Amino acid sequence: MNALPTWLSIAPPDAAVEISAEQVSVAVVTSREGRLTVAAHGAEPLPPGVVVPALATANITDGPAVTSALTLVFDRLSIRPRRVALVIPDRAAKLSLVSFDRIPSRRDDLDQLVRWQVRKSTPFPIDEACVTYNAGSGGPGAGKEYLVSLARRSVIGEYEGVCEATGAQAGIVDVATVSLINMFLGSTAAPEGDWLLVHVRADSTSVAIMRNGDLIFFRNRAESEQESVAALVQQTTMYYQDRLSGGRFTRVLVGGLGRGSGAVDLVRRSIEDRLGVSVEAVNPTAVAQLTDGIDASPEIMDRLGPLVGIWLRGHARGAAA
């Protein structure tokens, strides 16, 4: 299975870092004889308004405050990583599925074609964007679908700058839900067939449909939108059945903490009622065991999913280089 695209460098990370609107979190993952272990984990809350995820505007309003929080976590864990894999909020980037009837033979021509296609829906000049893409499911004839990840270069620089201020280089940058998907794709725990992932965070909800190793649907909805998560999932399911030749999901998974205590459990029950299917909680311990002293609480499970996913992605890229 192919992992989803990411902004990356060659060297594997020493640690994984996530910067969200609510907190910074860190995980150190080790691999011995093919067995993954979360060796260390920590987090520090952020004051409201310090990180405001957005695609087109500045995200970090107080860089020193975020840097101080990240440094505090590093100090607690007694680590000083030189290279980190960095997870940023879903709303700091845009994921699109684009299709072409014919694919240019030259890579440079394909790059230009992809950028030309996504520029029409980009709310800033395409020259200011970091764009990466992976081939997805193939269409008939010479056609092909691509998953395109786009973010403003200056926005990525804000998050990278926080890491650099602690002495760490962010060689890999990915959004939270993509990293969570990569947790599955980079392990033996990947579901087969068509499966649905719902990722509920405080600032937004993302819904993804995977067909084996290919993302065939993605939508991110801001927290301020009034539509319930269960209604969003039901609409997504109808689209999947009507437009994506879908039948029944082999698995439905829900991750994240949502917006308040018990929010995700409520989401899980409401999806089960609407779809008539069993809904599972995302469980990072199916991929990486926890070292003694790390509690498998719902809050920690929410933090660890994207961190384990981006570590797997960074380690695989580094090993392949």
Higher pLDDT among residues 174 and 4, named by residue: 174
Q: Are 145 and 137 in contact (CB under 8 A)?
A: yes
CB-based contacts of 121: which residues, under 8 Å, 6+ apart? 94, 96
Cα 9–Cα 308–Cα 90 angle in degrees, nearest 5: 75
Q: Does 10 have pLDDT greater than 60?
A: no
Superfamily the domain 15-92+153-320 falls into:
ATPase, nucleotide binding domain (3.30.420.40)
Q: Which tens digits make up the pLDDT trace of 82-137?
A: 999 999 999 999 999 999 888 898 999 999 999 999 998 999 999 999 999 988 76
* pTM: predicted TM-score of the whole model, two decimal places: 0.90
* Tokens encoding 29: 């993952």
Residue 305 has what pLDDT?
94
Dmax (CA) of the chain: 56
* DSSP H or E segment with residue 303: helix 298-320
Q: Count Cα atoms within 13 angstroms, Cβ side, for 72.
A: 13
pLDDT confidence of 223, banded at 50, 70, 90?
confident
Cα separation, 82 vs 63, in Å, equals 19
169-175 and 144-152: which strand pairing? Answer: unpaired
- What is the side-by-side order of every strand in the sheet holding 289-290? 169-175, 83-88, 15-19, 23-32, 35-45, 289-290
Q: Which tens digits make up the pLDDT trace of 199-215?
A: 998 889 999 999 988 99
Residue 320 has what pLDDT?
44
Residue spans per domain, the chain:
15-92+153-320, 95-148
- Closest residue by Cα to residue 162 from 70, 268, 87: 70
| Three-class SS state of 301 | helix
Cα separation, 144 vs 142, in Å, equals 7
